[in-house]
Structure 1
Amino acid sequence: MFELHASKVTSLKNDVLSGLTVALALVPEAVAFAFVAGVDPLVGLYAAFMVGLITSAFGGRPGMISGATGAMAVVMVSLVALHGVQYLFAAVLLTGVIQIFAGIFKLGKFIRLVPHPVMLGFVNGLAIVIFLAQLGQFKVTNAAGELEWMTGGALYTMAGLIVLTMAIIHFLPKLTKAVPSSLVAIIVVTAIVLFTDLEARTVIDYVRDMTGDASSTLAGGLPTFAIPAVPFNLETLMIILPFALVLAAIGLIESLLTLSLIDELTETHGQANRECVAQGAANTVNGFFGGMGGCAMIGQSMINVNSGGRGRASGITAALALLGFILFASGLIEIIPLAALVGVMFIVVIGTFEWSSFRIMRKIPKADAFVIVLVSGVTVISDLAVAVIVGVIVSALVFAWQHAKHVVVNRSTDENGWTVYDVNGPLFFGAISSFLEQFNFDDDSKDVIVEFKNSRVADHSALEAIDTLAERFKSRGKTLHLRHLSPECKTLLTKAGDLVEVNYIEDPSYHVASDKLD
């Protein structure tokens, strides 16, 4: 099976060569996502350059590649269709500001709340999305100007070149690792097509099919500074704010999950909050320089890791090389066969997909297996942010349900003849019913002790349950003593009142999640 080989040593040579490989793979992706968003191809290429350069230079995860992404493009398309590209630039600018504040307030730490099954689903879902995105390269324009699937010799040529590209990437590292196998594969396949005069679709063929313009080119100038041409009023803010919030969420989730994946592959540790700020700064710059914005790209990041790119130089090289292609060498990029780039991406798909998830499905809890499949499916049919949020919510509900059954109340009688209830397990919203059902209000002694030494009151629902308990005992003329509650719990209890007995020396010190504290 094909595997991604993550180098454990940073090398400037590897970074530069890997960056060149990534730059070649960035071109069709950036162009494709620009079409998805409904903007000019150069808007996507400029975004890939600016986001890639800034995040590589200042971000929290060296070796991670950022650029224009499909997950964000699908959100942009409706804004562009309804209000035009200038409103997109304004939304991207606001997106960047939101992401900067997310980093300043250290919200990146919440990525640790994403369970492992959600991470597996995220990886598998994105691998499927990357694979499906490559299928678009198998379409050509017919005589009527419509896109249709390849057939006959064109299809066989495309498939053969893809297989050759994948074979070179797989077998070359067994002979030498002096140069990235992906870069060698692209060069070799391009040379074969040129010197044999083989009829094969190239990058420029794809661009022209997408634009419908036979004179289209990838050549362009430097991005220029311009304040988005939109009215600066509340109405504009109301238009762009919902899009900016969604774009910021999608961008940060995809970036931070990709960061976590690269951490695992390279056995190093990135800085999530620093990456949030860098992503925000990159998108802010995009808003002023005519880019569509973006975030981390798992496919190109995997190419970089597999090609030996570990340091910041790899991402910086990729961004600068991409700009060089736009300014000076668009002709060289335009002649690259699409099959070579598709083959590279297919290797990424195979290496990214967690094939072990099939093997472990019967060994892990059914709920975790369900979450893996759910997140993968939602990633494919909807978007990454929705998939991760759904996965986290389902995992949290499963966790709450399982722990709701772990609250056990043991009843005994002490030397004074008082009834003692010893609570074991966390007390929170999911465990309230089970907790209250384990008390025998009528048969207890006049004085009742509820011992929380082996429990923890987790939220406001638990406090309300304790209040309910106190009220029920009080209505029967019995005195309730609550032991080993935090001082904060005592403050928040209302119905228990003076019935609470607290030992300030032994009682724990922790905070309870409650709106009453706000």
Structure 2
Amino acid sequence: MFDLITKQQGNVKNDVLSGITVALALVPEAVAFAFVAGVEPMVGLYAAFMMGLITSAIGGRPGMISGATGAMAVVMVALVAQHGIAYLFAAVILAGLLQISAGIFKLGKFIRLVPYPVMLGFVNGLAIVIFLAQMGQFKMLGEDGTMEWMQGEMMYIMLGLVALTMAIIYILPKLTTAVPASLAAIITVTLLVHGLDLEARTVIDFVRDMLPVEQQASATLAGELPTFAIPMVPFTWETLMIILPTAVILALVGLIESLLTLTLIDEMTDTRGRGNRECVGQGVANTVNGFFGGMGGCAMIGQSMININSGGRGRLSGITAAIVLLAFILFAAPLIEMIPLAALVGVMFVVVIGTFEWASFRIIRGVNKEDAFVLFLVTAVTVIADLAVAVVVGVIVSALVFAWKHATHIIARTHTDRDGWKVYELEGPLFFGSVTHFKDLFDPKNDPEDVVIDFNESRIWDSSGIDALDGLADKYEQNGKKLHIRHISPECRSLLVKANKYVEMNVNEDPRYKVATDKLG
């Protein structure tokens, strides 16, 4: 997939055009995610505008798009249902403050340590959760005031329109990419429903179901600018205890998904985002959301991919997307009322299919049983509990397994070359768990004057490994020996202090990989 991504730098034209494309695709998804959270569509649109604008301006990853997301929405729904939307806004503010704290204390680096099986379980669990959340759209308000499953013709029309939406999204890109397929599907299904006067529930029907009976007739989605307001909740210890669990989960889910997306874009564009700065950017955006009536959010994997594929590389692409989205909110909100729920469900089903990592079924047959167990564990915990808990559990289990299996797996094959230099050919990971064993492999006092450390079959994974190599270089220098270090990442080379002068560069052979460290965060 990465080979299809061009590596060109961003420019004004590409960023603006890409931003417009992203804005068009954001509209239906922002509304759909608002449904998932159980709030009005405009709350989702406000969130998409504010998240996109602020994170693009001050976040740590140019080209990444943020907005209202399903991962955050599924966490919000219980709080909204039990305590109301004001408590949600308060929880979003607190979540934002927690995310800012994570950036200040430089916790963004730890996303580099999330194992691949955990990432697979994360995206698979996210897909399943979003799918289950869509089931509520197949219900409607019954005569007794409770939500009931659709019946008869209405259900058949709903299923047919969902299938039509998905078909358009899959087929249209094969014909043209001038218009985002999801937007084209929304427009087509909307025109079909109103042109044929089909019995299909629309966005305004959903909004009316959420309101008291006396307010349903006058329900509307008039577009206006978001306004500042302090959430109307009691400023008490009891309120804090109500919103704190949700705020913590929102903060963790938002940072995990944002930093995972940041890492993915890093790989696609061969650049490096700043994880700690992104934590602060996400936190500021969520805090502003809580005060201006937005549901909050985080980075959006799908929209970020659209932006990168469309040529968006700079901050201007995300800023453009946010401003164009605001124009939709101000001038086209009445049109949103006409959108059939079936079209939004179809869009979300396509998101589910695209998010789920189907290749994981094939991967399971080729990996060891520990990785397969972690993949299933993270997926299951995601569905049963939430994304943040699942990823934390997966990382802990993976770390325990890895540390146990690999703490002593770093080895060195030694030989003397034709110049009389002693060569240490390392194999295995150099990280906090293997540092002690790494140091025991060398004999600075008795080694010859020229010593080579070859990392061709090894990797330095964290700051502990960097410090260990610096310390080893210092020991050889104290013994009057000349050290030669080969085949380490340019990023590792930039982090070394005492050992940097001993590194022999080879542009063609030196590997490229990232290191979990605060210095580049």
TM-score for the superposition, normalised by structure 2: 0.70
User: Judging changes above 3 Å, is the alpha-carbon distance between structure 1 residues 108 and 193 closer, same or farther for their aligned structure 2 residues?
Assistant: same
Cα deviation code 1:14-64 (max 9, x no counterpart): 4303311212221131243144xxxx6654443333223212333233444
Per the alignment, residue 440 of structure 2 pairs with 453
Superposition deviation, residue 174 in structure 1: 1.9
Q: CA RMSD in A?
A: 4.4
* Distance in structure 2 (CA, Å) of the matches to 1:216 and 1:6: 44
Per the alignment, residue 254 of structure 1 pairs with 257
SS of the equivalent of 2:366 reads coil
Per the alignment, residue 336 of structure 1 pairs with 339
* Distance in structure 2 (CA, Å) of the matches to 1:352 and 1:309: 21
Query: 1:238-387 residue pairs with structure 2 within 5 A?
Result: 243-264=246-267, 269-298=272-301, 301=304, 312=315, 315-387=318-390
Superposition deviation, residue 126 in structure 1: 0.8
Query: 1:396-407 residue pairs with structure 2 within 5 A?
Result: 396-403=399-406
* AA at the equivalent of 2:385: S
CA contact (8 A) 1:220 1:327 kept: yes
Cα deviation code 1:456-497 (max 9, x no counterpart): 9xxxxxxxxxxxxxxxxxxxxxxxxxxxxx9xx9xxxxxxxx
Q: Which has the larger radius of gyration?
A: 1
Per the alignment, residue 127 of structure 1 pairs with 127
Of 380, 395, 399, which residue of structure 1 is paired with 2:398? Answer: 395
Which one is further off, 356-365 or 312-321? 312-321
* Distance in structure 1 (CA, Å) of the matches to 2:203 and 2:55: 26
* AA at the equivalent of 2:106: K
CA contact (8 A) 2:32 2:345 kept: no
Matched, 1:115 2:115: yes
Per the alignment, residue 21 of structure 1 pairs with 25
Which one is further off, 58-67 or 186-195? 58-67
CA contact (8 A) 2:223 2:332 kept: no
Superposition deviation, residue 85 in structure 1: 5.5
CA contact (8 A) 1:208 1:214 kept: yes
Superposition deviation, residue 312 in structure 1: 4.4
* Distance in structure 1 (CA, Å) of the matches to 2:81 and 2:177: 47
User: Judging changes above 3 Å, is the alpha-carbon distance between structure 1 residues 372 and 269 closer, same or farther for their aligned structure 2 residues?
Assistant: same
Per the alignment, residue 419 of structure 2 pairs with none
* Distance in structure 2 (CA, Å) of the matches to 1:158 and 1:261: 36
Cα deviation code 1:168-187 (max 9, x no counterpart): 22222222222222222222
CA contact (8 A) 2:165 2:189 kept: yes
* AA at the equivalent of 1:453: D
CA contact (8 A) 2:47 2:68 kept: yes
In the alignment, structure 1 segments of 5+ residues that lack a partner are 409-423, 436-449, 457-485, 490-501, 511-518
User: Judging changes above 3 Å, is the alpha-carbon distance between structure 1 residues 363 and 188 closer, same or farther for their aligned structure 2 residues?
Assistant: same
Cα deviation code 1:191-227 (max 9, x no counterpart): 2222222222222222223446354322253222234
Query: 1:51-66 residue pairs with structure 2 within 5 A?
Result: 51-66=51-66
CA contact (8 A) 1:425 1:455 kept: no
SS of the equivalent of 1:56 reads helix
* Distance in structure 2 (CA, Å) of the matches to 1:112 and 1:505: 36
CA contact (8 A) 2:36 2:77 kept: no
TM-score for the superposition, normalised by structure 1: 0.70
* Distance in structure 1 (CA, Å) of the matches to 2:310 and 2:429: 48
CA contact (8 A) 2:139 2:147 kept: yes
Superposition deviation, residue 123 in structure 1: 1.0
* Distance in structure 2 (CA, Å) of the matches to 1:82 and 1:198: 34
User: Judging changes above 3 Å, is the alpha-carbon distance between structure 1 residues 365 and 199 closer, same or farther for their aligned structure 2 residues?
Assistant: same
Superposition deviation, residue 451 in structure 1: 12
User: Judging changes above 3 Å, is the alpha-carbon distance between structure 1 residues 53 and 305 closer, same or farther for their aligned structure 2 residues?
Assistant: same
CA contact (8 A) 2:410 2:438 kept: no
SS of the equivalent of 1:362 reads helix
* Distance in structure 2 (CA, Å) of the matches to 1:451 and 1:44: 52
User: Judging changes above 3 Å, is the alpha-carbon distance between structure 1 residues 268 and 332 closer, same or farther for their aligned structure 2 residues?
Assistant: farther
* Distance in structure 1 (CA, Å) of the matches to 2:353 and 2:106: 34
Per the alignment, residue 146 of structure 1 pairs with 146
Superposition deviation, residue 316 in structure 1: 3.8
SS of the equivalent of 1:179 reads coil
CA contact (8 A) 2:23 2:325 kept: no
Per the alignment, residue 216 of structure 1 pairs with 219
Superposition deviation, residue 333 in structure 1: 0.5
CA contact (8 A) 2:74 2:130 kept: no
Per the alignment, residue 104 of structure 1 pairs with 104
Superposition deviation, residue 331 in structure 1: 1.7
SS of the equivalent of 2:220 reads coil
* AA at the equivalent of 1:184: A
* Distance in structure 2 (CA, Å) of the matches to 1:18 and 1:279: 19
CA contact (8 A) 1:161 1:339 kept: yes
User: Judging changes above 3 Å, is the alpha-carbon distance between structure 1 residues 374 and 197 closer, same or farther for their aligned structure 2 residues?
Assistant: same
User: Judging changes above 3 Å, is the alpha-carbon distance between structure 1 residues 308 and 373 closer, same or farther for their aligned structure 2 residues?
Assistant: farther
CA contact (8 A) 2:106 2:276 kept: yes
CA contact (8 A) 2:95 2:251 kept: yes
Per the alignment, residue 176 of structure 2 pairs with 176
CA contact (8 A) 2:30 2:41 kept: no
Cα deviation code 1:383-433 (max 9, x no counterpart): 11100000001101111332367599xxxxxxxxxxxxxxx99999999xx
CA contact (8 A) 2:165 2:346 kept: yes
CA contact (8 A) 2:37 2:80 kept: no
User: Judging changes above 3 Å, is the alpha-carbon distance between structure 1 residues 105 and 211 closer, same or farther for their aligned structure 2 residues?
Assistant: same
* Distance in structure 2 (CA, Å) of the matches to 1:426 and 1:348: 36
Superposition deviation, residue 273 in structure 1: 2.0
Identical counterparts, % of pairs: 68
Per the alignment, residue 496 of structure 1 pairs with none
* Distance in structure 2 (CA, Å) of the matches to 1:425 and 1:17: 45
Per the alignment, residue 165 of structure 1 pairs with 165
Superposition deviation, residue 259 in structure 1: 2.6
Query: 1:461-480 residue pairs with structure 2 within 5 A?
Result: none
* Distance in structure 1 (CA, Å) of the matches to 2:290 and 2:222: 21
